Structure 1
């Protein structure tokens, strides 16, 4: 038996004898230029993957520069040289020779001491190929694993789980090292600031290994004093509530870091630093195993104003002014007053791009507004809770669906359940009503309220007062430009007489998004979202309910399509729709049936498409994001969605592809997206709107085919299917 010291990749220096070399090996000085390395193969490996082994070696072969260029890269396989698509690599025989040593050393590190690696280089003209052939041999197993010196606070079973290895496992020194680091971190979380773990291993030739870990925890430190400096204007109590460590508790470095993140989350704090001090006696040695913490706060400027300008196809010109007091009456309370105007220039542009999605009638093109005051209390009862109160008045349009005027307030409490998890409970009573001119078709088609007096009844202002519970679990690495991670959200909303609401419904929405970096500056992103709303008793009606009470609030129904969902469609136009013809402009002759049939056959674009929405919805988006520096980006996307009256009907999903350009501006990512509508003819209900507001619905649906009704050429049809979107902020 011999005692083997644990080593890293330097173990390669102990390997003896040259490795066998087969095939033709050009010298590094042959010719004016080395051969291009077209292919690199790794054979014989079973325990370790190709991807893992490629990270160990220096040799690289010519590869496609980006997944976005894969089609151009494939052209090379049929004899076409598209050089810009490839990142060329050239043969270096010295690297190949050293890589064989590296692979063997790496196998030793992972517990395969008898592994052998052969290299094979073959050249044809100015092209080369390299093979690494591996004979892994049998792994060295662990006969016993002993952990000595554990403090009472760490049970042996917990330590074993942190190490992740046990008797019978492969003697993988990489995993052992990672397990040792996990054990050290666990000890330091419990106050053992100087904890270390030493390894010893006996491995006889061609035999199993005996491993011992010697734990030396050292002294267990407590928090002595926590001092707060520089927080006079904010208030020391708030800082202490958000900083989780208390005097007398065992020191925990992770808790200290979480406290610093909490303080940076306060807008009233410009900078927060934590300084550790160890009390000392006259001999310079610690008097007691304690650590004093000094929390140094640099306050931010209390008042800040922010103007904003924006543009989108569904809200036209937008402007915003926001004034924030970051430390209102002390305690890091945030008071924020916001004013917004939307639909600027919508009337003047009369529905032309880039305001093409604001709505088809003048009522939808009038100015929208929001005036809002919001107060945030960052600490309520404890540092884990915050409270938000909001008072607002607004006019908002959902294009071609309804115009809502509302005033109300909202109060909500948010609790941090973990580093990445928050939950919010809110109550938001709102006195809300609808414009009669904009809502008649929506209420007639969806709820059967087609008479003028009925529409007046259901559009009058009433109380909407839901209680909402939402949860967010966020593991994305960046809130504005994520490249890795994911987030999950879920929200349940209920409104009933018991909540003070004159609308009654239950609504649930769930969403998941994930991000994966395929290569530097190339990110694959995906999002799926689904929701359902139900009226108590049945979908809409409850036996004995009055006509005015027989509807779910329209803003709580689901609409899909537009810049934030399925971009191959105009705003809200995926799913159930109704075609509207104007009697005065489109059908002056009075024969409405013949008029509607003629419009469908000769000029379907003359119809106003009004979305009906649904009680259930699903939308999915997949994006390939290429960042072109710090400002510009290119995106290829595929969106899908469905809207229906129940979840079982959501299987009829419509896919639309597209691409877009991104520009990172101070107000957010400016998006210009081009979507392609893949749908064909559909049978849709049609309505003729008379001048006095009366609605006449056709007995038979109309065949609606806006893209191919006149057998257009390929380019004309392509242009008709294109949908343009301009907006601010990522789709997800």
Structure 2
């Protein structure tokens, strides 16, 4: 087989000289060579013609010449309407670069198998503006008519090798594709113990437009692990460390498996530092099946740690958290964590004012929430792929303007790693929980018809909620806190029944997907979709033999949309079905409630408290354009949408809300300020008057409720009324 070195081929193309310069029209000014001079022409147009095999984007990646373009997608309105300097990325003509770019394009076509390709460049300029065109004549491709792979070891078959190389007879003689195939082949060999594997390529190109390619594989010795030694792992336990290592004595050496083992070790809180090294064999030991040792060196972390944090959000006000951790309880890297949280601090004193504007309208929702829990984590349960956790807790939690929940319980969970970025979990969570009467009266009256005080006492009494949950998570993003590329998927199914020890019965499923795409450096398009539904066959809450058996799902398992983590153009949980409530003492003391409610709706809708009802099904969508201005600061434009329905078959119209946000990256996470715009118009809503004695009176007809345009305000005042401000920590998704 005749040989032609790649370097020689490239040299031959270079020596052929640059393509002839096709100059501008005699009527246009000439451009100085090298683009020198104070008056350089701006390149406003860059075009390719004649390219059928390779795209414009591929060719732009080869050349130096650029054209003036908008500096950011966010500034595109300014780019279209103005010629302001800050909005554009300016590019100026350099005729020497253009001539060299023509050579670069020709060489690139040669490397892709088009050896007869010819490239000409055309420059047109009037001294101020310029256009550059590259005219390409691709010519026929040089096709491979002979292809062979020699020297393969027994561990890698010819068919598998051909699949890895992904180049065969009849394909264009594409040397870039050939090199990628060789890299895949060598990577496969090295994963099978051939650490020193390499491959030499030999090719010959005939004048008739064909090529012959041969790969000579030289695998070298195949290394097998003789033993895996652990150093410094006595405190943690060698059994746990070995379980986290994919490699065992007797396995063929695999560098990727070694790196996976090191990542697993770094994932343990009990380990401060871990290193894995391969002890090279002496030269005389390099037999066809050589043996090596793997040495794992571990440095344990301090066994005890304490953390304290403070945060603020519009729906939980000031929050504090203290956490005590033992990283290696009784050895085996078992982690015990005790956590205490307080929320709604200063919510009562601020009386619903910003920045605690979403905590709830009644004073009952502004009292302290708390959580006290202890969690035990076993990082290795039965195998390295399994993690077991157990926790007990005591809590008081509020869902603003929906309900106040108090309870205690436990949770047992098993998580299994299924692959890179993928895991599944199974958990059982028995909770003994009930509701404060002051929070649940309107919720249960409107949704389930329990309006009498004795009925409300019955349904708010503490009962067992004991669901079994199966979850699945798949994450392929490049950064868990600030992703710019990739996607993640989650799905969760939950069932509660008498057989699980639950006094509530329901089946619930939720799925979520998010996508991140970097449009340009520092500009990321993010999208998220989430949907869920719940069904309940019936929950008996009254005594046996009572006149009614009621269909009641636990309020915390219904769907509520709106707020800083979902649709940011509406208040907390206020998207979807809701009811408006007037107070007898403050708003309707005269007693003619129907007339009072009608008057309030027309003249003073701010007197009503909006209460969400939730639903059995929901759909959410969010789109964000994230511009990272620096390492700390970022700007976001977003559009959120959602729908909540009382029934699965009656999904309501989707409501869109746009907005913008500011981000600051801090040591405790991304501090987020979002301003959303509420697009709601006049809506007919059920109305209730809360009596002085605690009973509820529902109006016979819904009223037209419009809190934004009821008094025909100035457009600026209406805009301010529609704005929703959210302050929180962490990204929305």
Distance 2:11 2:712 in 1: 73
> What SS does the corresponding residue of 1:601 show, helix, strand or coil?
helix
Distance 2:3 2:476 in 1: 44
Change in Cα spacing, 1:30 to 1:236, as seen in structure 2 (3 Å) is closer
Q: In the alignment, what sits opposite 1:218?
A: 220
> What SS does the corresponding residue of 1:609 show, helix, strand or coil?
strand
| Deviation of 1:549 (Å) | 5.4
Distance 1:308 1:731 in 2: 20
- Write the deviation string for residues 494-514 of structure 1: whole angstroms up to 9, x where unpaired: 000000000011110100111
The question of 1:4 aligning with 2:1 is answered no
Distance 2:687 2:456 in 1: 19
The question of 1:616 aligning with 2:598 is answered no
Change in Cα spacing, 1:578 to 1:276, as seen in structure 2 (3 Å) is same
> What SS does the corresponding residue of 2:222 show, helix, strand or coil?
coil
The question of 1:146 aligning with 2:148 is answered yes
| Deviation of 1:651 (Å) | 6.1
> What SS does the corresponding residue of 1:650 show, helix, strand or coil?
coil
TM-score using structure 2 length? 0.96
Distance 1:180 1:539 in 2: 67
Distance 1:8 1:463 in 2: 80
The question of 1:64 aligning with 2:70 is answered yes
Q: In the alignment, what sits opposite 1:185?
A: 187
Distance 2:376 2:479 in 1: 26
Change in Cα spacing, 1:29 to 1:63, as seen in structure 2 (3 Å) is closer
- Write the deviation string for residues 561-608 of structure 1: whole angstroms up to 9, x where unpaired: 000000000000000000111111110111111111111101112111
Equivalent runs, 1:623-662 vs 2, <5 Å: 623-650=624-651, 652-662=653-663
Task: Identify which of 94, 97, 121 aligns with 2:96.
Answer: 94
Contact 1:279 1:288 in 2 (8 A): no
Distance 2:481 2:464 in 1: 36
Equivalent runs, 1:497-646 vs 2, <5 Å: 497-536=498-537, 547=548, 550-646=551-647
Q: In the alignment, what sits opposite 1:489?
A: 490
Distance 1:9 1:638 in 2: 54
| Deviation of 1:230 (Å) | 1.6
Q: In the alignment, what sits opposite 2:31?
A: 26
Change in Cα spacing, 1:189 to 1:287, as seen in structure 2 (3 Å) is closer
Equivalent runs, 1:13-162 vs 2, <5 Å: 13-14=13-14, 16-24=16-24, 25-27=30-32, 28=34, 31-76=37-82, 81-162=83-164
Contact 2:31 2:127 in 1 (8 A): no
Task: Identify which of 243, 246, 256 aligns with 2:245.
Answer: 243
Change in Cα spacing, 1:495 to 1:361, as seen in structure 2 (3 Å) is same
| Deviation of 1:149 (Å) | 2.0
> What SS does the corresponding residue of 2:471 show, helix, strand or coil?
strand
| Deviation of 1:546 (Å) | 7.6
- Write the deviation string for residues 371-427 of structure 1: whole angstroms up to 9, x where unpaired: 010110000111111101111000000000000001000010111110111111000
> What SS does the corresponding residue of 1:621 show, helix, strand or coil?
strand
- Write the deviation string for residues 280-320 of structure 1: whole angstroms up to 9, x where unpaired: 27x58679611211111122121111111011110011011
Contact 1:506 1:535 in 2 (8 A): yes
Contact 1:278 1:286 in 2 (8 A): no
The question of 1:467 aligning with 2:473 is answered no
Q: In the alignment, what sits opposite 1:389?
A: 390
Distance 1:341 1:144 in 2: 73
The question of 1:272 aligning with 2:274 is answered yes
Distance 1:10 1:631 in 2: 46
| Deviation of 1:540 (Å) | 12
> What SS does the corresponding residue of 2:582 show, helix, strand or coil?
strand
Distance 1:539 1:383 in 2: 43
- Write the deviation string for residues 250-282 of structure 1: whole angstroms up to 9, x where unpaired: 11111111111111110111121111112327x
Distance 1:293 1:137 in 2: 54
Distance 2:412 2:5 in 1: 63
Change in Cα spacing, 1:678 to 1:539, as seen in structure 2 (3 Å) is farther
Q: In the alignment, what sits opposite 1:358?
A: 359
Q: In the alignment, what sits opposite 1:432?
A: 433
**Aligned pair count?**
726
Distance 1:575 1:390 in 2: 34
Change in Cα spacing, 1:30 to 1:186, as seen in structure 2 (3 Å) is closer
Contact 2:324 2:338 in 1 (8 A): yes
Distance 2:595 2:144 in 1: 86
* Structure 1 unaligned residues grouped into runs of 5+: none
Higher mean displacement: 543-552 or 208-217:
543-552
Distance 1:38 1:156 in 2: 52
Distance 2:273 2:563 in 1: 40
| Deviation of 1:145 (Å) | 2.1
Distance 1:494 1:468 in 2: 7
| Deviation of 1:9 (Å) | 9.7
Higher mean displacement: 371-380 or 85-94:
85-94
TM-score using structure 1 length? 0.96
Change in Cα spacing, 1:42 to 1:405, as seen in structure 2 (3 Å) is same
| Deviation of 1:42 (Å) | 1.5
Q: In the alignment, what sits opposite 1:254?
A: 256
- Write the deviation string for residues 83-122 of structure 1: whole angstroms up to 9, x where unpaired: 1111111111111111100001001111111111110111
> What SS does the corresponding residue of 1:158 show, helix, strand or coil?
helix
Distance 1:10 1:233 in 2: 60
Contact 1:371 1:393 in 2 (8 A): yes
Contact 1:279 1:287 in 2 (8 A): no
* Structure 2 unaligned residues grouped into runs of 5+: 25-29
- Write the deviation string for residues 465-505 of structure 1: whole angstroms up to 9, x where unpaired: 00001011100011111111111111001000000000011
Q: In the alignment, what sits opposite 2:456?
A: 455
Distance 1:663 1:11 in 2: 53
Distance 1:236 1:656 in 2: 55
Q: In the alignment, what sits opposite 2:27?
A: none
| Deviation of 1:17 (Å) | 3.7
Distance 1:616 1:63 in 2: 45
Change in Cα spacing, 1:10 to 1:659, as seen in structure 2 (3 Å) is farther
Q: In the alignment, what sits opposite 1:337?
A: 338
> What SS does the corresponding residue of 2:177 show, helix, strand or coil?
helix
Q: In the alignment, what sits opposite 1:324?
A: 325
| Deviation of 1:75 (Å) | 1.9
RMSD: 2.0
Change in Cα spacing, 1:421 to 1:540, as seen in structure 2 (3 Å) is farther
| Deviation of 1:646 (Å) | 4.0
Distance 1:236 1:498 in 2: 41
Distance 1:615 1:554 in 2: 10
> What SS does the corresponding residue of 1:327 show, helix, strand or coil?
coil
> What SS does the corresponding residue of 1:186 show, helix, strand or coil?
helix
Contact 2:243 2:383 in 1 (8 A): yes
Distance 2:390 2:711 in 1: 56
